[in-house]
C-alpha cells in the first residue's frame, strides 16, 4: 500500500506549495528521492528548491531556501546522490574496511544511501574537529542537506577557479585542516583544487563521502595522496614548494 504523505503540523497553504513544487520536479526525481525531499520540507530543513548548482556523475547539487532547522542560514545545499550511477561499485573500497559500516547490503540504492549517510557522518566529525567544512544539517536516504558555502546567495568558487592573493596562507590553512581531521582520526581521501571552496579567503573542504577513519587499511595511502595532490597544485600554480615527507610527519605528529 502506498504510504500517505504526512501533512500534520503544516498550514494548508504550505502543503499546497510543497506539493506543487515537488510536482514541478517530477520526472527529474525518482519516487524514492521525492519521498526524501518531502521529508526535508516536512522537517523544516528547506522551504523551497531554488536551482541546480551542479550536476555530476554521482550526485546533483541543489540550492534551496533554508527552513528553521538550518540554524539561521538563508540557503541550504542539497546533495542528491544518483541511484542510477555506474561508478558506485568502485566506492565499495571506501566502505568495506571502515568499521562504522560493517554490513552493507548490496543493492545499488543501499550503497548510495550508505554513501550519503557516510558523507553526513564525516561532515559531522569534521564539524566537531573544528575543520572548515559545510555543517551537515540532515540526511534522508540519498539526500544530504548541508550548509551553503558562499556570500550573499552567491556560491563560493572552487580553489581551482580562484586566483589567490595569499596562496601560502591558504595552503597553510588547508594543511592545518588536514591535521585537525587526522587528529579526529579521519582522512579526507579526495582533496584537490576541485574539492576546496574559497569563501572570503578561507578554504572550506567539501565532498566528504569517501573520507575514511584512521584504522581503515588504506588510510595512510589516502593521506599521502591528499598531501601530494594539494602540494602539487600549489607548486604548479603558485610555485610554492614544501617537502611532502615533512608535511606528512607534521600532520601525523611523527
Ligand atoms: N556546501 C556547499 N556550498 C556551496 N557549493 C557547494 C557545496 N557543496 C557542493 N557545492 C558545489 O557543488 C559542486 C559539487 O559538489 P561535490 O564535490 O560535493 O560533489 P561531487 O559529486 O563530488 O561532484 P564532482 O564530481 O563535481 O566533484 C562543488 O564543486 C561546488 O561547486
Ligand atoms: Mg567533488
Q: Report the alpha-carbon distance of residue 74 to residue 2 in Å, rounded.
A: 34
Distance 173 CA to ligand 1 centre (A): 20
pLDDT by position in tens, the chain (length 254):
344 444 455 556 666 666 666 665 656 788 889 999 999 999 999 999 998 999 887 899 999 999 999 877 899 999 999 887 646 666 666 776 777 776 655 677 888 899 999 999 999 999 999 999 999 999 999 999 999 999 988 999 999 999 999 999 999 999 999 999 999 999 999 999 999 999 999 999 999 999 999 999 999 999 999 999 999 999 999 999 999 999 999 999 97
Buried-state track 99-136, b at ≥16 Cβ within 10 A, e below 16: eebeebeeeebebbbbbbbbbbbbbebbbebebbbbbb
Question: Which pairing describes strands 154-155 and 157-158: parallel, antiparallel, or unpaired?
Answer: unpaired
Residues labelled catalytic = 190, 207
Question: Which atom of ligand 1 lies closest to the CA of 157?
Answer: 31
| Pocket of ligand 1 contains residue 75 by CB under 6 Å | no
Backbone φ and ψ of 77, nearest 5°: -95, 130
Which cell goes with 238? 603558485
Over the Cα atoms of the chain, what is R_g? 19
Rounded to the nearest whole angstrom, what is the distance from the C-alpha of residue 207 to the centroid of ligand 2? 5
What is the Å distance from ligand 2's center to 204 Cα? 12
Give the count of alpha carbons within 13 A of 105, CB side only.
Answer: 6
Amino acid at each position: 500500500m502506498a504510504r500517505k504523505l504526512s501533512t500534520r503540523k503544516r498550514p494548508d497553504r504550505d502543503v499546497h506549495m510543497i506539493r506543487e513544487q515537488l510536482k514541478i520536479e517530477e520526472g527529474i526525481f525518482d519516487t524514492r528521492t521525492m519521498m526524501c525531499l518531502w521529508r526535508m520540507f516536512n522537517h523544516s530543513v528547506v522551504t523551497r528548491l531554488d536551482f541546480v548548482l551542479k550536476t555530476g556523475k554521482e550526485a546533483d547539487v541543489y540550492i534551496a531556501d533554508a527552513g528553521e532547522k538550518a540554524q539561521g542560514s538563508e540557503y541550504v545545499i542539497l546533495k542528491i546522490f544518483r541511484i542510477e550511477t555506474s561508478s558506485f561499485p568502485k566506492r565499495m573500497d571506501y566502505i568495506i574496511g571502515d568499521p562504522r559500516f560493517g554490513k552493507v547490503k548490496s543493492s545499488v540504492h543501499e550503497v548510495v544511501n550508505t554513501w550519503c549517510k557516510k558523507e553526513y557522518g564525516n561532515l559531522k566529525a569534521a564539524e566537531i574537529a573544528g575543520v572548515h567544512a559545510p555543517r551537515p544539517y540532515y540526511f534522508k536516504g540519498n539526500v544530504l542537506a548541508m550548509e551553503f558555502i558562499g556570500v550573499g546567495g552567491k556560491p563560493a568558487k572552487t580553489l581551482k577557479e580562484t586566483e589567490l592573493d595569499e596562496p601560502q596562507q591558504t595552503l597553510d590553512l588547508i594543511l592545518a585542516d588536514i591535521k585537525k581531521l587526522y587528529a579526529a582520526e579521519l582522512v579526507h581521501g579526495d582533496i584537490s583544487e576541485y574539492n576546496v571552496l574559497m569563501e572570503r579567503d578561507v578554504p572550506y573542504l567539501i565532498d566528504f563521502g569517501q573520507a575514511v577513519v584512521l584504522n581503515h587499511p588504506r588510510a595512510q595511502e589516502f593521506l599521502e595522496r591528499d598531501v601530494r595532490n594539494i602540494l602539487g597544485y600549489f607548486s604548479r600554480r603558485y610555485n610554492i614548494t614544501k617537502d611532502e615527507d615533512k608535511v606528512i610527519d607534521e600532520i601525523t605528529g611523527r
